[in-house]
Amino acid sequence: MLVDLDYFFAQCEEMRNSSIKDKSVVVCVYSGRSEESGAVSTANYIAREYGVKSGIPIYSAKKKLEDKDAVFLPVDHKFYSEISKKIMTILRSYADRFQQAGIDEAYLDVSQKVKGNFEEAKELAQKIKKEIKAQQKLTCSIGIGPNKLIAKIAADVQKPDGLTIVKPEEVESFLSPLPVKRLIGVGRKTVKKMENLEIKTIGDLAKYDMQKLITLFGKSMGAYFHNAAMGIDDNLVQERGEAESISRIHTLHENTRDLKVILEEADHLCEEVHERLVKQSLSFKTIGIIMITTDLNMRTRSKTLKSPTNDLESLKKTVKELFEKIINETELEARRVGVKVSNFVKGKRRQKQITDFIGIAKN
Binding site for Ca ion (CB under 5 A): 4-5, 8, 102, 104-105
Per-residue contact flags (x/-) with ligand DCP for residues 24 to 63, judged by CB under 6 A? -----------------xx-----------xx--------
Q: Among 13, 14, 105, 265, which one carries the catalytic annotation?
A: 105
Helix (H, G, I), strand (E, B) or coil at 287: strand
Residue 105 a catalytic site member? yes
CA–CA distance, 134 with 140 (Å, rounded to integer): 12
Nearest distance from C-beta of residue 25 to Ca ion, angstroms: 14
With CB under 6 A as the contact rule, the residue among 1, 2, 3, 6 that binds ligand DCP is: 6
Element (H, E) at 87: helix 77-92
Taking CB under 6 A as the binding criterion, the range among 6-14, 165-173, 176-184, 290-298 that sits at the site for ligand DCP is 6-14
With CB under 6 A as the contact rule, the residue among 2, 7, 233, 292 that binds ligand DCP is: 7
Long-range CB contact pairs, 45-49, < 8 A, 24+: 45/6, 45/7, 45/160, 46/22, 47/10, 48/7
Can you say whether the dihedral through the CA atoms of 177, 182, 186, 187 is positive or negative?
A: positive
In the bound state with ligand DCP, the residue whose beta carbon lies nearer, of 11 and 227, is 11
With CB under 6 A as the contact rule, the residue among 5, 142, 150, 282 that binds ligand DCP is: 5
Number of H helices, E strands in the chain: 13, 13
Closest residue by Cα to residue 358 from 156, 201, 151, 219: 219
Residues in binding contact with ligand DCP, number by CB under 6 A: 14
Taking CB under 6 A as the binding criterion, the range among 4-12, 119-127, 201-209, 232-240 that sits at the site for ligand DCP is 4-12
Could you give the residue numbers annotated as active site? 105
| Positions that interact with ligand DCP (CB under 6 A) | 4-9, 41-42, 54-55, 103-104, 159-160
